[in-house]
Amino acid sequence: MLGKIKEKNLGNKIKNMLLKRGFIVDMDISKKTGSVYLKVDNGACGSIRISNHRNDKTKCKYNMIKDYSGKRSDILYGQMKKFYNYKMVGRLITDLEIERSNKIIQYGYSNYKKTRDKELFNDYYIYKQVA
């Protein structure tokens, strides 16, 4: 039970940091495993999974895993995934801001904003390309 509280607190911390930076964030907690899922900008940016265990089958692009030490990024099931430990919150926020900036440059701010504001909650936090 204590582990679930830690993931929830970390999820709330990250959510508040992202909200201050202008992101739209939706948070969901898995009842079975206690993993926390953060959907960023309604799917326009990659989603975040915070957990005490690794799960390669999840479709989240950003994965925070307790005491993780290994490759920072990997391609699994055809998707780029990035891995962090609980002490790398600043790096996670920076990577999300870089992703958002790159998508705004690639597609234009108005197209990014249209995608972000659609509020379509597609298949459980799937990372999708904009446009």
> What residue segments make up the domains of the chain, in order of their start?
2-119
The structure's pTM equals: 0.82
Our CA angle for 96, 102, 108, nearest 5°, is 125
Closest CA to 99 of 123, 121, 73, 69: 73
Q: Each residue of 71-119: pLDDT tens digit?
A: 899 888 888 999 999 999 999 999 999 999 999 999 899 989 888 887 5
Q: Quick one: DSSP state of residue 124?
A: G
